[in-house]
Structure 1
Amino acid sequence: MQPTRIEKNVADVCRAVLDGDTEELLIVGPSPTVIDGLVAVLSEPESASTVRLLATESVLKETVSGFTDASTVADLVADEVLSLRTSAERLGGPLLLTDERVVSLVVTDERTAGLATEDAEFVGAARNEYANRWTDAEPFTLRTPPLSRVRETLETEFGAELAADFEAMRVALAESAGDLDVVDVSLLAAARNEALLYDISTWGENVGVASRATFSRKKTRLEEAGLVETEKVPIDVGRPRLRLLLGDERLREADASEMVRVAAELLAVEA
């Protein structure tokens, strides 16, 4: 990497650092924007590096506040590509540290610069300093399941069509400003495919998306707003179970990728 490298975005600078001869990168004091760029690079199929990331708890919580971001990070953690720790101390940065260089990131609205030094004495001192901080820091625990697990279990439990509908809605959800979350789109995907509430809520609890109680509460909200309907399905033993159905004609006519927008508009009218 050149001593100073100016790129279009954070991801390009991170890629340039990771494309070097380093196998492990230590990142200290990143902002959510820096973490987003890093995650984008680590998610690329050709990425072979591992990263230790030390940040404040507030930054990590902001980064994983949305389901897609959190579940993508969870995949990297599960694959042992990314490790997360939090520090209560004030952190300088953002800094990217390899065995041979220290890179300071300067991020603007239009460009990102990586200002690097390869002075061996300085790099060694910086590595020791922040390696010690890493050792003293607390692990950051993610409560969101890995996205790959969500996809795989959905297809196994409900089939490819429901899984594809969920995926289309999940992508739309990440770009939506509406009052919907991953439980809502799970229920809408289930209703589009006429699955049972019991089955989708049990799946959600088992995989770690949300509790069955949360699914039930969200179902009630969607039902009261007219987005979903239910019909009773008798079973051999016990109370009948509820089959989920789409309750509004506009949702029934929408493609899966459009359903988040339509549902958000319908909920806004009801609010």
Structure 2
Amino acid sequence: MNPSADAIEELIDVAGGISEPPRIRLLGDESTLKGVMSDFILASNAADLIDEETLELRALADGSENSLLISPNEVVALINVGDTVAGLTTDDEEFVSLAYDSYTTTWEEAETFNLRTPPLSRVRSTLAEDIGEPVEADFTGVLDSLQTARGDGDGLDEVTISLLIAAKNEVLLYDISKWGEDVGIASKATFSRTKTRLEDMGLIDTEKVPIDVGRPRLRLKFGDERLREANTDQLASVAQNLLN
């Protein structure tokens, strides 16, 4: 109930690392949920939990409720101190019963939070199938080297990462953007705009590839020697330095 952004991040991280996690109903402030889910890494892992029916997200009408963890057996008040989240617990049967019933009603009246990010497992599997396993391995390697992947237009969001990995493997823009649109990462237009920005900044380059009918397609390549020389786990930091 109404966890902080740090608590949501910790919950997703912990739940994703458990082989048989409990079912979780997360009722949070809508603006907080949107902020957390702007990070592709967190959002795609949350989407996996939703896909597995482990996690369900709903949005509070306002964020004035207490931050609580509620089960049929206990109620935990969540407290943030710096970067740490701790809890104060009560197992008083009467209080727990009242709280559980009250917040169950609140849950039932709340709207489902619409998470548009695709599950990470689906992103990886379709990337391997549609574009190639080496590309998927590079994509995963870059994500593993990052703490966040936010779509704020300045850092390495999921579209930028996809295009950089495509350039590393000299994939056609058409192929990577079609995959990205099909899997739900972003539209072809977004891929095209981001490609233009990266090209203007010198990170990637393109070469025309003739096809039988229609306009030539564009093969993505790195435009900067530092990117060509970088290992996969260094690619994100090199790209971020070039973007700043």
Q: Verify same fold: TM over 0.5.
A: yes
Taking structure 1 as reference, are residues 168 and 238 closer, same or farther at Cα in structure 2, changes over 3 Å only? same
Residue equivalent to 1:155 = 128
Q: CA deviation at 1:59?
A: 1.1
- Detail structure 1 runs of 4+ shifted over 4 Å in the superposition: 175-178
Q: Does 2:79 match 1:106?
A: yes
Residue equivalent to 2:211 = 235
Q: CA deviation at 1:174?
A: 3.1
Q: Does 2:175 match 1:202?
A: no
Q: CA deviation at 1:44?
A: 1.6
Deviations 1:4-46 (A, max 9, x none): xxxxxxxxxxxxxxxxxxxxxxxx1100111111112211232
Aligned length: 241
Deviations 1:109-150 (A, max 9, x none): 375432221111111111111000001100000111111111
Taking structure 1 as reference, are residues 258 and 175 closer, same or farther at Cα in structure 2, changes over 3 Å only? farther
Q: Distance in 2 between matches of 1:53 and 1:175?
A: 21
Q: CA deviation at 1:84?
A: 0.6
Q: Distance in 2 between matches of 1:232 and 1:182?
A: 25
Q: Secondary structure at the match of 2:34?
A: helix
Q: CA deviation at 1:107?
A: 2.5
Q: CA contact under 8 A between 1:170 and 1:182: conserved in structure 2?
A: no
Q: CA deviation at 1:261?
A: 1.4
Q: Secondary structure at the match of 1:116?
A: strand
Q: CA contact under 8 A between 1:176 and 1:261: conserved in structure 2?
A: no
Match of 1:124 among 91, 97, 101: 97
Residue equivalent to 2:190 = 214
Q: Distance in 1 between matches of 2:62 and 2:203?
A: 47
Matched ranges for 1:158-177 at <5 A: 158-175=131-148
Q: Distance in 2 between matches of 1:103 and 1:267?
A: 43
TM-score of the aligned structures, taking structure 2 as reference length: 0.93
Pair member with larger Rg: 1
Q: CA deviation at 1:228?
A: 1.0
Q: Does 2:30 match 1:30?
A: no
Q: CA contact under 8 A between 2:6 and 2:83: conserved in structure 1?
A: no
Q: CA contact under 8 A between 2:202 and 2:223: conserved in structure 1?
A: yes
Q: Secondary structure at the match of 1:84?
A: strand
Aligned identity (percent) is 51
Residue equivalent to 1:88 = 61
